[in-house]
Structure 1
Amino acid sequence: MKKFIGLLMVSVLGGLFTLGIYKTFFEKGEFVVEHKDNTPNFVTASYHPSALAAAETTDFTDAAEKTVHAVVHVTNKITSRGPSSIQDLFFGNARERTQVGTGSGVIISPDGYIVTNNHVIDGASELSVTLNNNKTYTAELVGSDPSTDIALIKVDTEEELPYLAFGDSDHAKVGEWVLAVGNPFNLTSTVTAGIISAKSRDLSGSNSQSFIQTDAAVNPGNSGGALVNTNGDLIGINTAITSRTGTYIGYAFAVPSNIAKKVVEDLLEFGNVQKGLLGVSILTKNSAYAIENGLNDIEGLYVNSVEEDSGAEKAGIQQGDIIKNVDNIKIVKFADLTGYLNSKRPGNVIQVTIAREGSTKTIPVTLTKMNSFTLNELGMQVKNISDKDRKKYKIKGGVKITRTAPYLNNANLEGRILVGINGKEIRNAEEAKQIAATINPNERNVMIILNENGEAERYLF
């Protein structure tokens, strides 16, 4: 018995000794390391466990599976001729060179229509499209719109292709999860995730753009690819990044799907983009006038002027009205308004909610056709004349000069009627644009302009 107890004690002591050795030399514990340098200790801000849980429960797999097969790799070959060396330049030799650019596109119909960016296909002498299954097709350009950076191309195939349906970008929410699918750096079928960071972003500074901003990683080659929600609905066409290095640093931008869809439909039906005009100019916030008159902090857009014969004028919108909503879309900044109008065409009726003298009311407005053009060759902007102008000047055609370049300010041409260029009669703004495009700036040109009294004056330029 004593011998058994002795063996038991030796075993217990041996076990404790072994356990102590293991704990001391082999088991990894927690260590606190005290930094002795000046490196700052960054802490994650605004950590919300509930938000993390929501992200973990979001399933991206169905949307990704649905999208990758509808996103294609677009190859753009540009062939040009020119000297490739000093010797070629000296002897006047021209050699053919081919440059290859790549991007992405989204199949939007089973018969092969594909939407992409204008800058992806711009200048192409040859276009090809590679599907996710590695099949390659030759593509033809249907049409493009540089102002929205949207282009439509087509491949011919006997089989039905996988495609994405357009979603409603107006109802996309800031903070909503999205996927960006494309071919960055020629890495096909790449899927990245993020959220919608903002809407109605204008990168031009001219209030002519209205992008969806996202923090999903987008890099060169993603242009023309799909931005989809977790249902796999196409809510944007990835277009641009803001970066000092040329690669993704946290900001990416997409053309909203409602704008892209409208551009595609216009290109198919009309061959060009039909732009609906509301007919108001908006007071610029932070301007001296806005600050001095207490208009800088209003919620909405202050109508600075109303264009004659426009839908806004005919509907009764006045200077001083504040636009609050359009078709129940809240209007905070000008890009909200232009972004929504870019999804409409002439003849569409929109419901504009305005504030006037302490009360609000909703007015139906019929959008009119964009009838003004910038004539860079003449340094001016013109628009079609109104019925009032026709009666006043007793003319049937001509265009009104609405804006001139700074070097023409002393001529006081704004408000006058341009009726001819180089002996060619001008009947409307479209004709003015066509005729102006044919002038030779190296030769003497003549404009016939009516003054305030309706008298014709000749201007040489």
Structure 2
Amino acid sequence: MKKILLFLFAVTLIFVSGIALAAFCPECGTKNDGANKFCTGCGARLTQAGQKTDEGSVTKVIGDAALNVVGIRVKKERASQFTDVGSGFVADKIDTVCYVMTCNGFFNDTDEIEEIKIMSSDKKEYGARIFMQDYASCLVLLQVETECSFVPLKLGNSENITVGEQVFAVGNPLGLEKSVTRGIISARDRCFDYLEYEGLLQTDAAINPGSIGGPLLNSKGEVIGVTYTGYSKQYSEGLNFAVPSTLASEIIKGIKTKQIKRPWIGIAVLCISTELKDWLKDEKKKNITVEEGVIVAAVADTRPLMMKYDVIRKINGAQVKNIWQLQSAILVMNIGDTVKIVIERDGKETEFGVVVKEKPSEPEFPVEDEFETLFGASLSERFGTVRIKSAMKKGLAESMGLKEDYEIDKIFKKNIDSLETFYDAFKEAYSRKKRILSWPKKYITAMHST
């Protein structure tokens, strides 16, 4: 009898184990292996044995977080009323003063903004002002001007997020507070032309214009990104992006000093692409033979170890295939540390140490290098005009509408009639906007020469 009972018990264990190893997701019915963390059918987070995480707890966590997501409203010069521009979230609170993080794109024209207001989930309005802007990450902190009872959202570590993990975008599209959309992380380390830092998170969670600037949350309610932009459904469905929380945390750390301290090795870089290689070769600047990697586009140090057009192959022993791999390795360094960098120059590899410095608020690169290489265009002067001789395909200049044979008419409303006036205006504009890559199209006007 005991043998029969033991046999039945063993069979029961095998049967139960079979369920644990291959169970069905309660949400979509997909059969999942027990080792899966996420449902292969719908992307829902699984606990064990293919069972989905308790929806009730996730709903409560996201609902609590949504209480501290706000709408952003601005009133511009000569405007009769406020306009809803996007969303934000309470990122920190010191005593009774709250700080709201959002997307800096709403505040490019600070001279034109007369008043800023934030609207809470219970539709209370608070006055706010710009406290700190970071053009590099396209993030901004607003300081609420009156006492408030908001609770700051907890920042998660975006480095730990995995492709396929479930996320939630919270915002106030069209003034509809506490709007939540769900999706998954579709990819990591994406890039945009107007951001100095790469590594954007890509998600299929819907991000509407009014939701931009709001938090992208994990299932614990932690902020793992700040929603940055989304492509129109006219072009692509479910293609949306968020600035990772690793960059947001650096800004929040600087609230008390009102200064963002970032490690820096004194160079500006570009990813190697077919278009870049072809343009450099056509302009007789450099013949790049490698297929992938990162190229030094400009050097700020007066006595650099690295030189323009060096290809960065490794940093601290790790391969460098894209800009984010280089940036993420530097971001974790302390100022004063020495990093080992392997570069390729004229077909030969060289290794040396570079001391990490604090990044200045206005890095000074040679203006010609900054424009011609980073901007992807070369210039010539003729009969009182400055003309674009060539523009790199898919380069930033071309993306701003500047093409071959175009004449640059104005920069920040200053007339351009020579290379000298161009560089003078360029330097002043660079100082005002911190980085050329953050300029909107309207700051440079040009016409096609005939």
Q: Please tell me whether residue 57 in structure 1 is matched to residue 46 in structure 2.
A: no
Read off the aligned partner of 1:113 and give its amino acid letter. Answer: Y
Secondary structure of the equivalent of 1:64? helix
Partner of 2:104: 118
Give the Cα–Cα distance (whole angstroms) in 2 for the partners of residues 220 and 323 of structure 1.
39
Secondary structure of the equivalent of 1:218? coil
Partner of 1:249: 237
Residues 408-435 of structure 1 show CA distances to partners (whole Å, capped at 9, x for unaligned) of 599xxxxxxxxxxxxxxxxxxxxxxxxx
Alignment of 1:295-374 (within 5 A): 295-296=290-291, 301=293, 307=299, 309=301, 313=305, 319=310, 322-323=313-314, 331-338=320-327, 343=331, 347=335, 349=337, 351=339, 354=342, 365-367=355-357, 369=359, 372-373=363-364
Secondary structure of the equivalent of 1:61? helix
Residues 61-113 of structure 1 show CA distances to partners (whole Å, capped at 9, x for unaligned) of 24303311221112122232xxxxxxxxxxxxxxx644513311110123311
Q: In the alignment, is the contact (CA less than 8 A) between 1:183 and 1:222 conserved in 2?
A: yes
1:233 is displaced (CA, Å) by 1.7
Q: Please tell me whether residue 269 in structure 1 is matched to residue 264 in structure 2.
A: no
Read off the aligned partner of 1:57 and give its amino acid letter. Answer: K
2:90 to 93, 99, 107: 107
| Cα gap change, 1:382 to 1:177, in 2 (>3 Å) | closer
Q: CA RMSD in A?
A: 4.8
Alignment of 1:55-204 (within 5 A): 55=46, 57-59=52-54, 60-80=58-78, 97-98=80-81, 100-110=83-93, 111-122=97-108, 123-204=112-193
Read off the aligned partner of 1:322 and give its amino acid letter. Answer: R
Q: What is the TM-score of this pair, normalised by structure 2?
A: 0.59
From the CA coordinates, give the structure whose radius of gyration is larger.
Answer: 1
| Cα gap change, 1:205 to 1:77, in 2 (>3 Å) | closer
Partner of 2:16: none
Give the Cα–Cα distance (whole angstroms) in 2 for the partners of residues 311 and 67 of structure 1.
50
Q: In the alignment, is the contact (CA less than 8 A) between 1:105 and 1:226 conserved in 2?
A: yes
Partner of 2:9: none
Q: In the alignment, is the contact (CA less than 8 A) between 1:380 and 1:404 conserved in 2?
A: no
Q: In the alignment, is the contact (CA less than 8 A) between 1:347 and 1:366 conserved in 2?
A: yes
Secondary structure of the equivalent of 1:221? helix
Q: In the alignment, is the contact (CA less than 8 A) between 1:279 and 1:311 conserved in 2?
A: no
Read off the aligned partner of 2:92 and give its amino acid letter. Answer: S
Secondary structure of the equivalent of 1:216? coil
Residues 209-249 of structure 1 show CA distances to partners (whole Å, capped at 9, x for unaligned) of 43111111111111110011122221111010011549x83
| Cα gap change, 1:273 to 1:221, in 2 (>3 Å) | farther
1:440 is displaced (CA, Å) by 5.7
- Number of residue pairs matched by the alignment: 334
Secondary structure of the equivalent of 2:76? strand
| Cα gap change, 1:127 to 1:112, in 2 (>3 Å) | same
Read off the aligned partner of 1:100 and give its amino acid letter. Answer: T
Read off the aligned partner of 1:441 and give its amino acid letter. Answer: N
Partner of 1:225: 214
Give the Cα–Cα distance (whole angstroms) in 1 for the partners of residues 412 and 333 of structure 2.
29
Give the Cα–Cα distance (whole angstroms) in 2 for the partners of residues 194 and 148 of structure 1.
23
2:246 to 250, 258, 261: 258
| Cα gap change, 1:186 to 1:227, in 2 (>3 Å) | same
Q: In the alignment, is the contact (CA less than 8 A) between 1:109 and 1:161 conserved in 2?
A: no
Give the Cα–Cα distance (whole angstroms) in 1 for the partners of residues 73 and 194 of structure 2.
31
Give the Cα–Cα distance (whole angstroms) in 2 for the partners of residues 237 and 355 of structure 1.
34
Q: In the alignment, is the contact (CA less than 8 A) between 1:352 and 1:363 conserved in 2?
A: yes
Q: In the alignment, is the contact (CA less than 8 A) between 1:105 and 1:225 conserved in 2?
A: yes
Read off the aligned partner of 1:66 and give its amino acid letter. Answer: D
| Cα gap change, 1:344 to 1:278, in 2 (>3 Å) | farther
Q: In the alignment, is the contact (CA less than 8 A) between 1:121 and 1:127 conserved in 2?
A: no
| Cα gap change, 1:108 to 1:444, in 2 (>3 Å) | closer
Unaligned runs of 5+ in 2: 1-29, 34-38, 282-286, 384-410, 424-450
Give the Cα–Cα distance (whole angstroms) in 1 for the partners of residues 370 and 241 of structure 2.
32
Give the Cα–Cα distance (whole angstroms) in 1 for the partners of residues 414 and 202 of structure 2.
43
Give the Cα–Cα distance (whole angstroms) in 2 for the partners of residues 195 and 325 of structure 1.
32
Partner of 2:398: none
Secondary structure of the equivalent of 1:224? coil
Q: Bigger shift: 56-65 or 362-371?
A: 362-371
Partner of 1:456: none
1:308 is displaced (CA, Å) by 7.2
Secondary structure of the equivalent of 1:235? strand
1:284 is displaced (CA, Å) by 1.3
Partner of 2:380: 407
Q: In the alignment, is the contact (CA less than 8 A) between 1:306 and 1:312 conserved in 2?
A: no
1:48 is displaced (CA, Å) by 5.3
| Cα gap change, 1:205 to 1:264, in 2 (>3 Å) | closer
Secondary structure of the equivalent of 2:251? helix
Q: Bigger shift: 69-78 or 360-369?
A: 360-369
